[in-house]
């Protein structure tokens, strides 16, 4: 009996729109960004809990993809018989690798992406642990790294540095005191009025940035969190009570604090669940609600949002974007003296949870182990990797800069630029030949392509981090102090972004160019191919053109297509959220999209462990990424057709290679349930089975698992 994986949308309360991957980056809702990045393969603990399973029936032997397996499941080939290339190309190509690969400690999967990410990380770790140089920015990061690795000192200090901050919250006696606390960056470790926020382009005026007020900080992502047997809630409770006990609470008082915080959060659920319903019906456009400063003051009559942000150092003359006005209105209604104790407990619980990993080893390991358990990982990363991950999570831009300066072959940058130009030239031809588009929409699409900003490898002018100072242990510095210094630097940098003009010359803070990533950013109309992905199975300057097209070019074409997928097509050439299509062309687009959704809805993403297909909801969840894969494949095949004596076997082999993956079962279940991409083997099999060149190259015929009849082939472009 196999299990049923629940396929469904998961609203990330940090405000993600379309983080795409070969595996995520943390992008604000205002960024309207789609990325191909290694981070996406890892899922959060809360996301993982949504991967529910139950028994279901048998599979239809005549379904689409009936002869495919999920070749990305770790250990799945053991005892398996012969697999024909003609039946399952992804499994055939990557079987030898999958049967011999080992997943590293602290990781949930291995893949082309993790291999290159590890190679890049080794260079970064060598830099952080290497010789000092006459570079104050490198010195600051080496100092931070040394503090993180000094467990003896950290264990002696414990969590005593956090204790005064918890006591400060406890001492608040009035709503005016609470407002003063929220407004003071020296006291408020979470950096806001318990409201998640970001600085990002205005969706209706992309040249200018504004503050996006997102969800309140909640442990709960839905009503199931409040059920007595909810595993995720129990784990959060264990961590919070543990952290509070480390700061001097009794076990009883710690549990009371957590219970009071959760009870307060439950009041947000009606507005949150109502928002989920509206978003499911209308899409992410419901997140774009621009308020003037006066409108925001009217919306919040009790909680002085602008006053608080001004105290934290932000420009508050507006405009603002309020993602979920109903939640903010509810928060405003309970921002009263009667609820002061509940709010204090809420702040204390979240502060303890967010900060606990920055102290002693026991606290770090306890939190990390809980989070790892949801994705089937029972080991922790080595200390050097842990230190790098911590620094990169807090201030990625500095590590990106050091990677570009010290770890990357800068001669590659102009070569990648040439490859991007080649892809754009053929994409332009592809758009010109789409006979289902009217001349008006086609011209607008080509105009959007022609005005795209190109961000290749790393910025021409690297950012300045010299004002960030980190004290060493000999100077009395601690990890907690370093974290606070980084957060203060980030806040100052974020505030500065409110005054810049988004003309494409400056790269945004979410463009992590040392990560294994690429991105299309709708609000900039920019293509971003990051230095971190220009290696491994994706790119080598000495490769023949077939391997380059099957590697990095597929990623480039994927991001180009995001400009014209279900999300990107709603932004114009200037990055504004505006429908530039004729009504007839949009209807034709929707018809092609619906055919794609029907195709994916019947696919079973993990037939070895579940009989459940994606279904309509699951297909809609992954459709933008599926569109991008298919559009890229069509563009690259057009390039291949133009080349004499092109080696299609080598080309298709490389396409299969970049999607190799081996993931633990629990992590795969969570990936399927929450990630916006199809499973990797489908990202290989489906784009190529839609191209006649593939069928001809390998003699694929009707009855083979990789065959797809011409009338059944899919794709927007």
Residue pLDDT, tens place only, 303-343: 999 999 999 999 999 999 999 999 999 999 999 999 999 99
Q: Is the pTM of this model over 0.85?
A: yes
Which pLDDT score is estimated for 175?
A: 98
| Residues 37, 511: Cα–Cα separation, whole Å | 11
Please, which pLDDT band fits residue 505 given cuts at 50, 70 and 90? confident
Model pLDDT for residues 175-232, shown as the tens digit of each residue: 999 999 999 999 999 999 999 999 999 999 999 999 999 999 999 999 999 998 999 9
> By the 8 A CB rule, do 358 and 480 touch?
yes
Quick check: 87 pLDDT over 80?
Answer: yes
Give mean pLDDT, residues 60-69.
86
Q: What percent of the chain has pLDDT over 70?
A: 92
Quick check: 156 pLDDT over 70?
Answer: yes
Q: What tokens appear for 220 in the block?
A: 């709960």
Establish how many alpha carbons lie within 13 A of residue 285's alpha carbon, considering only the half-sphere containing its beta carbon: 14
Determine how many CB atoms are found less than 10 A away from the CB of residue 690: 21
> By the 8 A CB rule, do 567 and 519 touch?
no
Which pLDDT score is estimated for 38?
A: 41
3-class DSSP state of 347: helix
Residue 319: cis peptide before it, omega within 30 degrees of 0: yes
Which pLDDT score is estimated for 471?
A: 98
- Residue 662 bridge partners (DSSP): 110
| Residues 354, 243: Cα–Cα separation, whole Å | 10
Which pLDDT score is estimated for 74?
A: 97
DSSP sequence for 194-255: SEEEEEEEETTEEEEEEEEEEEE--S-SSGGGGSTT-HHHHHHHHHHHHHHHHTT--HHHHH
Token pair 């960056």 is at which residue?
Answer: 185
Give mean pLDDT, residues 552-566.
97
Name every residue whose Cβ is closer than 8 Å to that of residue 47 and which is 6 or more positions away in sequence: 10, 12, 374, 670, 673, 674
Please, which pLDDT band fits residue 59 given cuts at 50, 70 and 90? low
Please, which pLDDT band fits residue 35 given cuts at 50, 70 and 90? low
Quick check: 6 pLDDT over 60?
Answer: no
Quick check: 652 pLDDT over 60?
Answer: yes
Token pair 């901050």 is at which residue?
Answer: 165
Exposed, middle or buried, 636 (CB in 10 Å: 0-12/13-18/19+)? buried
Token pair 């990560």 is at which residue?
Answer: 515
3-class DSSP state of 102: coil
SS3 per-residue string spanning 552-598? HHHHHHHHHHHCCCCCHHHECCCCCECCCCCHHHHHHHHHHHHHHHH
Q: How far is CA 483 from CA 189, 295, 344, 472, 480, in A?
A: 10, 35, 23, 13, 5
Q: Report CA Rg, the chain.
A: 25
> By the 8 A CB rule, do 625 and 20 touch?
yes
Q: What tokens appear for 517 in the block?
A: 């990533």
Backbone dihedral angles phi then psi of residue 528, each to the nearest 5 degrees: -130, 115
Which pLDDT score is estimated for 510?
A: 86
Please, which pLDDT band fits residue 61 given cuts at 50, 70 and 90? confident
Domains in the chain, CATH or no CATH each: 3-100+410-450+514-573+583-712 (3.40.390.10), 163-358 (1.10.1380.10)
For the chain, what is the largest distance between any 2 Cα atoms, rounded to a whole number of angstroms?
79
> By the 8 A CB rule, do 167 and 283 touch?
no
For residue 210, give the H/E element and its range.
Answer: strand 205-216
| Residues 321, 289: Cα–Cα separation, whole Å | 5
Phi-psi region of 106 (alpha: psi -120 to 50; beta: other; left: phi over 0): left
| Residues 272, 155: Cα–Cα separation, whole Å | 40
In this structure, the strands spanning 320-322 and 205-216 are parallel
Model pLDDT for residues 450-493, shown as the tens digit of each residue: 999 999 999 999 999 999 999 999 999 999 999 999 999 999 99
Q: What is the DSSP letter of 623?
A: H
Model pLDDT for residues 536-546, shown as the tens digit of each residue: 999 999 999 99
| Residues 717, 627: Cα–Cα separation, whole Å | 8
Please, which pLDDT band fits residue 60 given cuts at 50, 70 and 90? confident
Strand stretches in 2-81, DSSP E: 3-5, 33-37, 53-55
Sheet holding 33-37, edge to edge: 33-37, 517-521, 526-530, 453-457
| Residues 232, 230: Cα–Cα separation, whole Å | 6
Q: By C-alpha distance, which of 146, 144, 247 is closest to 189?
A: 247
3-class DSSP state of 84: coil
How much is the mean pLDDT over the chain? 91
Please, which pLDDT band fits residue 285 given cuts at 50, 70 and 90? confident
Give mean pLDDT, residues 372-382.
88
| Residues 687, 651: Cα–Cα separation, whole Å | 13
Q: By C-alpha distance, which of 247, 141, 120, 99 is closest to 466?
A: 141
Phi-psi region of 91 (alpha: psi -120 to 50; beta: other; left: phi over 0): alpha
Token pair 């097509």 is at which residue?
Answer: 569
| Residues 213, 318: Cα–Cα separation, whole Å | 12
Model pLDDT for residues 257-268, shown as the tens digit of each residue: 999 999 999 999
Q: By C-alpha distance, which of 684, 686, 656, 693 is closest to 596?
A: 686
| Residues 257, 279: Cα–Cα separation, whole Å | 33
Please, which pLDDT band fits residue 7 given cuts at 50, 70 and 90? very low
> By the 8 A CB rule, do 514 and 531 touch?
yes
Token pair 């060149």 is at which residue?
Answer: 693
CA 364 from chain centre, in angstroms, equals 23
| Residues 287, 16: Cα–Cα separation, whole Å | 10
Please, which pLDDT band fits residue 17 given cuts at 50, 70 and 90? very low
Quick check: 697 pLDDT over 50?
Answer: yes
| Residues 677, 629: Cα–Cα separation, whole Å | 10
């Amino acid at each position: 009996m196999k299990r049923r994986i629940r396929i469904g949308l998961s609203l990330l309360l940090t405000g993600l729109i379309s983080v795409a991957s070969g595996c995520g980056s943390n992008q604000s809702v205002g960024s309207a960004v789609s990325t191909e990045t290694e981070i996406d393969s890892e899922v959060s603990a809360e996301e993982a809990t949504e991967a529910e399973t139950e028994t279901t029936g048998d599979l239809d032997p005549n379904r689409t993809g009936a002869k495919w397996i999920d070749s990305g499941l770790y250990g799945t080939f053991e005892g398996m018989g012969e697999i024909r290339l003609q039946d399952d190309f992804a499994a055939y190509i990557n079987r030898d690798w999958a049967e011999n690969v080992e997943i590293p400690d602290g990781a949930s999967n291995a893949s082309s992406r993790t291999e290159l990410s590890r190679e890049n990380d080794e260079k970064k770790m060598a830099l952080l642990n290497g010789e000092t140089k006459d570079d104050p920015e490198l010195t600051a990061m080496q100092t931070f790294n040394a503090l993180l690795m000094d467990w003896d000192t950290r264990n002696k200090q414990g969590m005593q540095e956090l204790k005064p901050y918890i006591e400060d919250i406890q001492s608040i006696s009035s709503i005016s005191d609470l407002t003063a606390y929220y407004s003071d960056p020296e006291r408020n470790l979470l950096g806001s009025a318990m409201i998640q926020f970001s600085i990002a382009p205005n969706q209706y005026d992309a040249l200018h940035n504004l503050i996006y007020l997102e969800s309140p900080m909640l442990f709960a992502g839905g009503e199931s969190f409040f059920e007595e047997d909810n595993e995720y809630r129990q784990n959060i409770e264990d961590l919070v009570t543990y952290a509070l006990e480390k700061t001097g609470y009794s076990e009883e008082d710690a549990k009371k604090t957590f219970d009071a915080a959760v009870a307060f959060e439950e009041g947000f659920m009606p507005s949150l669940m109502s928002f989920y319903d509206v978003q499911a019906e209308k899409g992410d456009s419901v997140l774009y609600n621009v308020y003037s400063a006066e409108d925001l003051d009217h919306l919040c009559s009790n909680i002085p949002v602008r006053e608080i942000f001004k105290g934290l150092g932000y420009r508050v003359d507006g405009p603002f974007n309020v993602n979920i006005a109903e939640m903010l209105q509810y928060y405003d209604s309970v921002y009263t003296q009667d609820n002061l104790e509940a709010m204090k407990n809420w702040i204390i619980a979240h502060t303890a949870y967010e900060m606990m990993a920055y102290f002693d080893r026991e606290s770090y390991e306890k939190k990390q182990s809980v989070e790892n358990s949801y994705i089937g990982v029972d080991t922790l990363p080595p200390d050097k990797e842990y230190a790098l991950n911590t620094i990169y999570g807090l201030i990625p831009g500095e590590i990106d800069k050091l990677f570009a300066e010290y770890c990357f072959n800068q001669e590659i940058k102009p070569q990648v630029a040439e490859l991007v130009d080649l892809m754009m030239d053929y994409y332009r031809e592809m758009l010109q030949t789409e006979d289902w588009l009217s001349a008006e929409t086609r011209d607008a699409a080509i105009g959007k392509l022609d005005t795209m900003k190109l961000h290749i490898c790393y910025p021409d002018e690297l950012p300045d981090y010299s004002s960030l100072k980190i004290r060493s242990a000999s100077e009395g510095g601690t990890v907690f102090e370093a974290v606070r210094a980084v957060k203060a630097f980030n806040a100052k940098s974020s505030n500065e972004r409110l005054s810049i003009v988004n003309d494409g010359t400056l790269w945004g803070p979410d463009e992590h160019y040392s990560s294994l990533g690429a991105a299309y950013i709708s609000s900039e109309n920019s293509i971003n191919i990051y230095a971190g992905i220009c290696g491994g199975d994706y790119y080598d300057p000495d490769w023949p053109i077939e391997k380059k097209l099957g590697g990095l070019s597929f990623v480039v074409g994927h991001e180009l297509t995001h400009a014209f997928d279900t999300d990107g097509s709603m932004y114009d050439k200037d990055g504004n959220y505006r429908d530039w299509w004729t009504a007839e062309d949009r209807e034709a687009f929707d018809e092609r999209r619906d055919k794609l959704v029907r195709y994916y809805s019947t696919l079973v993403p993990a037939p070895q462990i579940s009989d459940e297909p994606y279904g309509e909801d699951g297909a809609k969840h992954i459709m933008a990424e599926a569109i991008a894969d298919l559009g890229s494949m069509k563009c690259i095949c057009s390039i291949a057709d133009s080349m004499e004596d092109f080696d299609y076997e080598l080309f298709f082999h490389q396409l299969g290679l970049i999607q190799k993956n081996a993931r633990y079962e629990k992590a795969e279940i969570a990936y399927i349930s929450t990630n916006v991409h199809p499973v990797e083997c489908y990202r290989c099999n489906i784009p190529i089975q839609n191209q006649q060149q593939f069928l001809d190259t390998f003699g694929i015929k009707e009855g083979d698992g990789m065959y797809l009849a011409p009338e059944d082939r899919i794709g927007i472009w």
